Chain A
Amino acid sequence: MCPRTHSTGPAIETRALRRTFRVSPRTQALSGQSEVEALASMDLRIESGEIFGMLGPNGAGKTTCIKILTTLLLPTAGEARVAGFDAVREPNEVRRRISLVSGGETSGYGVLTVRECLWMYSQFYGVPGQVAWPRVDRLIEIVDLKTEQHTRINRLSTGQRQRMNFARGFVSDPEVLFLDEPTLGMDVNAARTLRAFVAEWVREREGRTVLLTTHYMAEAEALCDRVAIIDRGHVLACDSTPALRRRVQGGQHVELEVLAPNGVTLDLTALTGVAAAWGAPHPERGTRTLKFRLPEGGALVEVLRRLEQAGARVDGIATRETTLEDVFIAVVGRTLDDSGSADDSRSGGSAT
């Protein structure tokens, strides 16, 4: 194994990192733009020993950022450093110290067994055999593939392949680990176990850093020391979860389940201090969740009155503590779970 860099500098650092993509002619005809800006000008500093979360809707630029840091993609401008090395000019130094897991992927050499595949990856990193085998066996236990360890990868279920892919990220015991939506598509139990393992893995070793992207608020909240909320290539907020929560404290978080007939619009922008966003629709009940924060002494009655005027009916009401999701709504202006239909759920709360 390569010697660790015991530099005091940050594990990951980006300065004015920018990346644009040229778009296809068809997209260009629709949007009128010749390129899409995946990363605008990203400044990040992640210290060694941190579990750092990147939270953002689809297309925010999370994967693009990870690809640049893992040397898969070149930036358009700016600087990206990992473990003290430049990801553009010193990719080989970076590659010795990192590992990448993309969730939701079923990658792996179908002709190999789970154990063979993990061992082989450890050899890609030059891990000596007497270290590699025990590590591979331990990881197989952690991802719960002990009974499948001698099974060929092409006979594994999707979830099992994803778990193997997760284990692969750890076989080299990397200094900096990139987890791009690692628990995507996993069952609840598996996700919980693996989250706990990531936390333990960082705690047990000195100088290990994890950069994690996720769509699961709970995952970010449970796991990350700090979280960056990003949207359209910009870092909108970056702090520890308690500090982020304090930003939107005061007032009440209210969730209404609303039965809104089609064509009904609702404008809440006029109400001072109300930042509202539509959550996921519940097609089975024909309702949608309207999430908003009321300022101190807020105007819940006013909101309800407007809803009634708009011809919508309130089916349920709940208030609760501030979560990371509230921060997200306050900062990005929409919820994360419906970012696919982002454009009809912008802040201000107008629904059709």
Chain B
Amino acid sequence: MRAAIARLRSAAWLGWQIDTNWADPFLFIVYSLLRPIATGLILAGMYWAVSSRVPARGMFTALYLGNAFHNFVTQVVIGMGWIVLEEREEYETLKYVFTSPLGLPMCLAGRSVVKLAIAMFGVVVVMAVGWFALHLTWDWREVRWPELSLALALGVVATVSVGFLVAGLGLLLPRPAIQINEGLAVALYLMCGVIFPIDLLPAWLQSIALALPFTLWYEALRRFLLGHGASARISHWSDATLLGALALSTLAFVAIGRLGYFALETRARRLGRLDQTTLF
């Protein structure tokens, strides 16, 4: 047990060393802060451009919040896909991690903790920018902390679970891994109601969006922090329904993430792809 904790801690330490690579603090700041801030500001620009027709400031705050929290997806979900690539192609250490008692899943878990922390830091900064620079504010007395905390916890679990799935795909498909990571980042950005409410999606895409934990997560965060969501479709749901759906979707993705990751890992092990270097 003590050894297992030491192992996990070493993976987190490694993640910290790599992800915060202080030798290049500029890149670190660009990657972890400027990007989410930039997307927030672009979003702001877009909304002000059309604000003569869409005067809904509350709607914009809701979208800005979703955009801020989407940082978890870009940093952690997609980040876990990048870990596999990095370990295999850049450092060529994947096979040594894989054949050590730490194992790749634990390494991913340990390193995802660091990515979660960096993502959270980014979320706080982006929200602060929204609050002070864009005057996107809410009433702190109206915030429903228990529900918000529950939603936050569920979202974090879902994030890491989907991250494992992406990592597993990276193991099995070394060559298309980059496109998968990039493509998924864009797809989730458009699908999960980050920059526009899912009500604008075609009906069939809406159904998919509603099955994804991130869509439900952002709506729950908006509702419990701001008092209202961004999607008209979801706003008809009761709090219990929304939290229940989020819990169900999270649970489903925990199972899919776990089973999927191990299935993909085994397949990669069968095909001999674990130590294939293909890019650099």
**Interface residue ranges, A against B (CB under 8 Å):** 1-2, 21, 67, 70-74, 92, 95-96, 98-100, 102, 105-112, 116, 120-121, 123-126, 128, 168, 172
Contact = CB atoms under 8 A, between A and B. Distances in A.
Given A100-B96, A111-B17, A120 B10 contact: yes
19 contacts: A67-B272, A71-B98, A72-B95, A72-B269, A74-B266, A74-B269, A92-B101, A95-B100, A99-B99, A100-B95, A107-B93, A109-B14, A109-B91, A112-B17, A124-B10, A124-B11, A124-B97, A124-B101, A172-B100
B96 to A, nearest CB: 7
A265 B128 CA distance: 82
Contacts of A98: 99
B9 interface: yes
Contact of A72 (B9, B11, B91, B275): B275
Contacts of A71: 98-99, 269
Nearest to B91: A109
Interface residues of B, number: 34
A186 B234 CA distance: 64
Nearest to A105: B92
6 pairs of A and B residues whose beta carbons are closest in the complex: A126-B3, A123-B10, A107-B92, A124-B102, A124-B100, A74-B270
Given A21-B272, A74-B269, A107-B93, A120 B101 contact: no
Given A98-B99, A123-B10, A109 B269 contact: no
Nearest to B106: A124
Contacts of B101: 2, 92, 95-96, 124-126
Contacts of B266: 74
Contact of B272 (A1, A73, A125): A73
Given A100-B96, A125-B101, A128-B6, 12 more contacts: A72-B275, A74-B270, A92-B101, A95-B103, A107-B93, A108-B91, A109-B17, A109-B93, A112-B17, A124-B7, A126-B3, A168-B96
B274 A126 contact: no
Nearest to B13: A120
Interface string B91-118: 1110111111111000100000000000
A145 B92 CA distance: 21
Contacts of B9: 123
Contacts of B96: 100, 107, 121, 168
Contacts of A172: 100
Interface of B: 2-4, 6-7, 9-11, 13-14, 17-18, 21, 23, 90-93, 95-103, 107, 266, 269-270, 272, 274-275
Residue of A21, A95, A109 with most partner-chain B CB within 10 A = A109
Nearest to A126: B3
Nearest to B99: A70
Contacts of A2: 3, 101
A125 B93 CA distance: 15
A71 B3 CA distance: 21
A282 B126 CA distance: 67
A125 B107 CA distance: 12
A92 B262 CA distance: 14
B266 to A, nearest CB: 8
A273 B3 CA distance: 60
Nearest to B266: A74
Given A92-B103, A98-B99, A111-B17, A73 B93 contact: no
A67 B6 CA distance: 27
A116 B14 CA distance: 10
A72 B14 contact: no
Contacts of A1: 3
A99 B91 CA distance: 18
Residue of A21, A71, A92, A126 with most partner-chain B CB within 10 A = A126
Contacts of B91: 107-110
A72 B274 contact: yes
Contacts of A128: 6
Nearest to A116: B17
A106 B92 contact: yes
Contacts of B107: 124
Nearest to B88: A107
Nearest to A97: B101
B99 A120 contact: no
Contacts of A105: 92
A150 B98 CA distance: 26
Nearest to A132: B6
B66 to A, nearest CB: 33
Nearest to B22: A111
B10 A109 contact: no
B273 to A, nearest CB: 9
A3 to B, nearest CB: 12
A97 B17 CA distance: 27
B272 A123 contact: no
